[in-house]
């Protein structure tokens, strides 16, 4: 458990790191933008040709992108849903909807209070996401979730809630470098392989990746290269942990 002084020191340190990390290389897929997002759990439409608050079409397949914890808020907010919207839009047009669960302003609520508090908070965000998708009347068979880091826990919780409501699994869950200590929660307590017809797990080893192989039945686990290694500790928003997302967006753009 962190005391108040430790928490404040950590926030100052992370804010400084964010300032260093906010600028990227020319031509690199951007996953962040400078400044805050006020959203504390909001479904945003990132489909090509659509506005952020345009309604969801329940008859069209949807990819739901869920970012992870953002300790850099309010200096920086994640925008990976936009990158997926551009990549999938260039490949499929409006035949695939891209939705983003924006919880940038809420992720720091429990980020320094310990793993169990974070997990409970992520599970609650997942239930909120599921409620938004149920309200949008999307059949789970049309849903693909892409979760990054703790966004995988949010996605798994949403999939579990949707399964409990519909009695049917979502089409696919793609997991991008979830923290290995959360595997027990994701695969056992949330039973994600029962709630998703297919589960893809992409992970990056340390020192600036969080992942580890997930040797569970029904899971396709793939180790990715770690090009940043120790440099990623200095530039956390350009670490191997974030490289997993850039790599995945790049495979869509390349048509893989």
Instruction: Indicate the domain borders of the chain.
Output: 4-254
Cβ-proximal residues to 39 (8 Å cutoff; 6+ apart), any chain: 102, 103, 104, 105, 106
Model pLDDT for residues 79-96, shown as the tens digit of each residue = 999 999 999 999 999 999
The span from the CA of 46 to the CA of 185, in Å, is 29
CATH number of 4-254: 3.40.50.1820
- Tell whether the model's pLDDT for residue 22 goes beyond 50: no
Q: How much is the average pLDDT of 11-16?
A: 39
Model pLDDT for residues 154-163, shown as the tens digit of each residue = 999 999 999 9
- For the entire predicted model, the pTM comes to 0.88
């Amino acid at each position: 458990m962190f005391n108040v002084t430790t928490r404040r020191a950590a926030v100052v340190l992370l804010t400084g790191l964010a300032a260093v990390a906010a600028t990227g290389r020319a031509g690199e897929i951007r996953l962040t933008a400078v400044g805050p997002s006020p959203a504390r759990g909001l479904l945003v439409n990132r489909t090509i040709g659509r506005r952020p608050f345009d309604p969801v079409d329940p008859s069209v397949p949807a990819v739901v992108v869920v970012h992870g914890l953002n300790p850099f808020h309010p200096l920086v907010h994640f925008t990976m849903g936009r990158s997926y919207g551009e990549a999938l839009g260039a490949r499929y047009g409006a035949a695939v909807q891209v939705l983003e669960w924006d919880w940038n302003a809420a992720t720091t609520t429990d980020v320094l209070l310990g793993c169990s508090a974070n997990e409970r908070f992520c599970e609650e965000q997942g239930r909120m996401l599921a409620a938004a998708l149920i309200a949008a009347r999307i059949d789970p068979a049309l849903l693909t979730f892409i979760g990054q880091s703790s966004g995988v826990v949010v996605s798994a919780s949403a999939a579990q809630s949707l399964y409990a409501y519909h009695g049917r699994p979502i089409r696919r869950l793609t997991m991008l470098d979830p923290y290995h200590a959360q595997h027990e929660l994701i695969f056992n307590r949330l039973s994600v392989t029962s709630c998703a017809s297919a589960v893809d797990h992409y992970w990056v080893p340390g020192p600036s990746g969080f992942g580890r192989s997930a040797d569970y039945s029904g899971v396709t686990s793939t180790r990715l290269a770690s090009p940043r290694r120790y440099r990623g500790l200095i530039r956390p928003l350009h670490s191997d942990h974030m490289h997993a997302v850039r790599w995945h967006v790049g495979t869509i753009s390349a048509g893989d």
